[in-house]
Amino acid sequence: VGVMAAVGNVFLRAHGRTLTAFRPDAEYQWKGPFYFIQGADPQFGLMKAWTHGNTNNGDDEWEEEIKLAEQAVQAINKLNPKPKFFVLCGDLVHGMPGTRWKKKQEQDLKDVLKNTDQDIPLVFVSGNHDIGNTPTRETIDDYCKNWGDDYFSFWVGGVLFLVLNSQLYFDSSKCPELRLAQDAWLDEQLAVAANQKCRHIIVFQHIPLFLSQPDEDDDYFNLGKSVRQEIMEKFHKAGIRTVFSGHYHRNAGGSYKGLEMVVSSAIGCQLGQDTHGLRVVVVTEEKVVHRYYSLTELGSHGIEKELLDMLDKQ
């Protein structure tokens, strides 16, 4: 994909380890409060697979997920003022790499997402269903051809955003060199952030560091303790305030030395008691404030006054 083709394609804006939607030189300075929308796990195909008790092959229908994703896009398009961007924290579709329905699920998701207001850039984060539980160079390459880089950074109004490929922390056994490359890149980004005196650093990844406690046991839904501790310490030392993730299909979270771990439930299939929804995240000079809304609530009422007032405070 040439750079021009990438710029023109709303799904390939993450290119060359940055996001072409924002010009860094124009975004290094704090310009006042803003907000963005975080969603996770539209995961076309999981709802039927889950209800049929066949999560490996039962994903041959995803009508319900299409409707939910459409509802999410409609809700976002109605918001005023507009969010700076819309980030999807992984598991875009349910089909694993190489499975029968994956390409069709991806095409159907793109058909819905391309209706997002063109002034609201789409930001994609890779999940385990997007690149596999044990990713390979091939599965990651395939993802990048469809959705842009698997990890990258971008600046918005003096805030540095880091998008990570958490699968490389979960199991990089088939591509250890890619894990090392991401680690080296991340260290470099954090060094740049320290020099730039950025207002906040915010991280997006698919798998949470932890669900509620930093020292909780290893689980399918979190990162293993050894790697988790190392990343949390690195993030804490770099002054990272907030990490947003999905994967759990429920809302959860906790904190580690002032680093907040925010786990957002799914746009698609719910595995707990939460509603299909999206998270509204307001970034002020001092803090990062967020609230999870059901798709219905956001679509019919928009953002509550308390959050909108924060955006007005210059």
Domain membership of residue 7 (yes or no) is: no
Instruction: Kindly report the backbone phi and psi dihedral angles of residue 152, in degrees, each rounded to the nearest multiple of 5, phi listed first.
Output: -170, 175
Domain membership of residue 8 (yes or no) is: no
Q: CA-to-CA distance for 20 and 30, rounded, in angstroms? A: 19
Closest CA to 310 of 43, 9, 80, 33: 33
Q: In the structure, what pLDDT confidence band is assigned to residue 54 with cuts at 50, 70 and 90?
A: confident
Q: Average of pLDDT values for 115-134? A: 98
Domain that holds residue 285: 31-312
Average pLDDT of the chain is: 95
Q: Average of pLDDT values for 134-150? A: 98
Q: What is the pLDDT of residue 52?
A: 87
Q: Average of pLDDT values for 36-57? A: 91
Domain membership of residue 47 (yes or no) is: yes
Domain membership of residue 5 (yes or no) is: no
Specify the DSSP class assigned to residue 166: T
Residue 297 maps to which CATH number? 3.60.21.10
Q: In the chain, how many domains are there?
A: 1
Q: What is the pLDDT of residue 5?
A: 47
CA–chain centroid gap for 134, Å, is 19
- List all residues 6 or more positions away from 307 whose beta carbon is below 8 Å from its beta carbon: 35, 280, 282, 289, 291
Q: What is the pLDDT of residue 294?
A: 98
Domain membership of residue 15 (yes or no) is: no
Higher pLDDT, 9 or 75: 75
Domain membership of residue 53 (yes or no) is: yes
